[in-house]
Amino acid sequence: MLDSVRQNSRSAIIYILFGILIAAFIVSFGPGSPTGDSVFDGLGGRYAARVYGKDISEQELSFSFIALGLPSRGEAQAQRLREVVVDRLIERELLAHEAEQAGLLVSEDEAAKLLVDGNMFVAGIQRKVEQYAMRNNVLDYERLRMVVQNSYRLTMKQFVEIQRRELLADKFRQLLRSGTRASLDEIRAEFEDKGRQTNLEYVRFTPFRYEQDLAISDEEVETWAKAHEAEVKKTYEERKLLYTKQDQSAKLRRILLDVKKDASEAQVSEAKAKLTVALQTIQGGKSFAEVAMALSEDEATKKRGGSVGWRKKATTDFGTQLENKIFAAKEGEIIGPERSERGVELVKVEGFREGDIALEKARAELAEELLRAAKGKELAQAGASDAAAKLRAGGKLAELFPKDDSDAAEAQAKTGKVSVEETGMFARKGDTVPGIGSSSELVKKAFTLKPGEVVGPVDVSGAFIVATLKERKEPDLVEFDKKKDELAAEYGRTKWARLMTEYARHACVTANADGKLKVNQTMIADEAPARRGAAPAMAASKYEPCKDRF
């Protein structure tokens, strides 16, 4: 066979048409070959994967990375690409096996002809051999041999065998392609799906917005906890690590009066006097929480009775001086009025804990969190239902929920205000709605919605969406008739690529389930020694074959 390569090395240029690309590599291919930070530092005898008894060697994986110009190992991107390369090599062997089972063959001459024009396949992708192998645009066998041995780190026998397996897999791809047909109805439906675009106006009601406004008493929390003991326990078990071997933390409430750092002594004295009166009110029998809700200027905690929750030292915003007093206080003690980083404050120390926190100690906070989440969801859904009812009664989203001048999502997060947003024009592609998220229900309705109709409330990732149609663009069927042949060719390629993906995935899953596919986890996740002074590489995750990585 090598003689055939030599004999054909100066023959006329022969083109082998190959129509498959992989998007993951298009953005990753770089010019040149690796340097001292190469993906592989040397050869070895290990295999990366074994498919129906056929090994994909370490040398071939090394060759694939070098020939594709992929980045050094040790980077997260490199590890992901490494997995995709293995995927492609496994796919090649699966298809080559199917080709052999179907009686397809690749002769030595076919493999030799591929190399004559300096072409090769790398993991199913057509590439050029290094330019050095060409002399006056004609393949030079001796130069090719030097490139293969010195750059690709293979013997000529290994290199040609790899090309033969690639061509065998390609023959099977072309066999499937020849059987792929697309009807005119399929092509028109595809054109209409791409050409039909919709723009929705919508509002989003998030439970978090309502959770922050809830004023929940200790009695309500205890009542809810008693009725949901199993749920509280389950949440505790799921988060047990957070309650194990903990540093000391304090449960705190605050009443904050906002006083700037450069405030005058008179302003500070005025704030302290106001809080002294508040302290006397609390000592007279009124709860700290009630006074906080009435007086505090801290928006994050005011509606929650000043509750800061459990905080470890150096994780508060009180400032070092006040924080030291807090952690030196006794349970139940109220500190202040004191100057803090944010103003003048009263701080109540409700308790301390450290070490392993038992369920009994964590029960109240978990119950309150779960109760707030449940109530927040109920209120968000009710708000969305009310909005939908007003729209169905003739209201307009832009009038009911005028858009904030700032970014809508940011404005809602900061102020809690619900304001109208737009998806922008989009075509149906999967279940994703721009700006909203993934929802098969919403996508389906978005393209059948008529002017004046209302969608929702629809639960999308925990938030409730209410939407109306703003505008829709229909496909241009006159344009379809003009470009029918071009569209047919494009759709045929798309359908074939989709068929190939599904076929290869099925073949992979079947081989894996039958024990005909084995992977060498150590080899695939192998890391080169870290360079001196470099940070240690993160441990690579376990490689999973037959997985959709995009």
> pLDDT (tens digit, 9 = 90+) per residue, 191-243?
777 777 899 999 999 998 888 778 888 889 999 999 999 999 999 999 999 89
Lowest mean per-residue pLDDT among 174-178, 269-273, 442-446: 174-178
Q: What is the mean pLDDT of the chain?
A: 81
b/e code 151-174 from CB counts within 10 Å (16+ = b): bbbbeeebbbebbbbbbbbbbbbb
**Per-residue confidence (pLDDT) for residue 11, from 0 to 100:** 37
User: Bridge partners of 454?
Assistant: 468
User: Confidence class of residue 422 from pLDDT cuts 50, 70 and 90?
Assistant: very high
Q: Helix H segments across 151-264?
A: 156-178, 184-195, 207-211, 218-227, 229-238
**What does residue 97 show for φ and ψ, rounded to 5 degrees?**
-65, -45
User: Confidence class of residue 6 from pLDDT cuts 50, 70 and 90?
Assistant: very low
Residue 334 pLDDT greater than 90, yes or no: yes
For 74-84, what is the mean pLDDT? 69
**Per-residue confidence (pLDDT) for residue 529, from 0 to 100:** 37
Q: Taking a C-beta distance cutoff of 8 angstroms, is the pair 326, 335 a contact?
A: yes
User: In whole angstroms, what is the distance from residue 34 CA to residue 32 CA?
Assistant: 7
CA 259: distance to chain centroid?
A: 42
Secondary element (H or E) of residue 432: strand 432-433
pTM score above 0.85: no
**Per-residue confidence (pLDDT) for residue 416, from 0 to 100:** 58
Q: Residue 328 to residues 194, 248, 331, 341, 349: CA-CA distances in angstroms?
A: 67, 12, 10, 19, 10
Task: Kindly give, in sequence order, each residue whose CB lies less than 8 Å from that of residue 94, ignoring residues fewer than 6 positions away.
Answer: 51, 52, 504, 507, 508, 511
Lowest mean per-residue pLDDT among 141-150, 309-318, 534-543: 534-543
Domain 2-28+46-180+512-524, CATH = 1.10.4030
Task: Kindly give, in sequence order, each residue whose CB lies less than 8 Å from that of residue 147, ignoring residues fewer than 6 positions away.
Answer: 129, 130, 132, 133
For the stretch 89-147, pLDDT in tens is: 999 999 999 999 989 988 877 888 888 878 899 998 888 888 888 888 888 888 888 98
User: In whole angstroms, what is the distance from residue 215 CA to residue 305 CA?
Assistant: 7
For the stretch 26-44, pLDDT in tens is: 232 333 333 333 333 333 4
Q: Is 187 helix (H, G, I), strand (E, B) or coil?
A: helix
Q: Where in the chain is the domain with CATH 1.10.4030?
A: 2-28+46-180+512-524
Pick the CATH number of 197-208+375-473 from 3.30.365.10, 3.40.50.300, 3.10.50.40, 3.30.565.10: 3.10.50.40
User: In whole angstroms, what is the distance from residue 102 CA to residue 98 CA?
Assistant: 6
Tokens 């509002």 sit on residue = 203
For the stretch 88-104, pLDDT in tens is: 999 999 999 999 998 99
For the stretch 381-418, pLDDT in tens is: 999 999 999 999 999 998 999 986 555 444 444 445 78
Task: Kindly give, in sequence order, each residue whose CB lies less than 8 Å from that of residue 43, ignoring residues fewer than 6 positions away.
Answer: 58, 59, 62, 153
For 497-513, what is the mean pLDDT? 89
User: Bridge partners of 335?
Assistant: 347
User: In whole angstroms, what is the distance from residue 287 CA to residue 373 CA?
Assistant: 25
> 211-373, which class in CATH?
alpha beta
Of the candidates 376, 106, 185, 27, the residue with the CA atom closest to the CA atom of residue 115: 106
**Per-residue confidence (pLDDT) for residue 71, from 0 to 100:** 66
Q: What strands, in cross-sheet order, belong to the sheet with 343-355?
A: 307-312, 246-258, 343-355, 334-339
User: In whole angstroms, what is the distance from residue 23 CA to residue 81 CA?
Assistant: 12
**Per-residue confidence (pLDDT) for residue 383, from 0 to 100:** 94
Q: Where in the chain is the domain with CATH 3.10.50.40?
A: 197-208+375-473, 211-373
User: In whole angstroms, what is the distance from residue 481 CA to residue 465 CA?
Assistant: 38
- What secondary structure, in 3-state letters, does 120-160 show? EEECCEEEECCHHHEECCEECHHHHHHHHHHHCCCCHHHHH
For the stretch 537-547, pLDDT in tens is: 444 568 888 88
User: In whole angstroms, what is the distance from residue 85 CA to residue 168 CA?
Assistant: 18
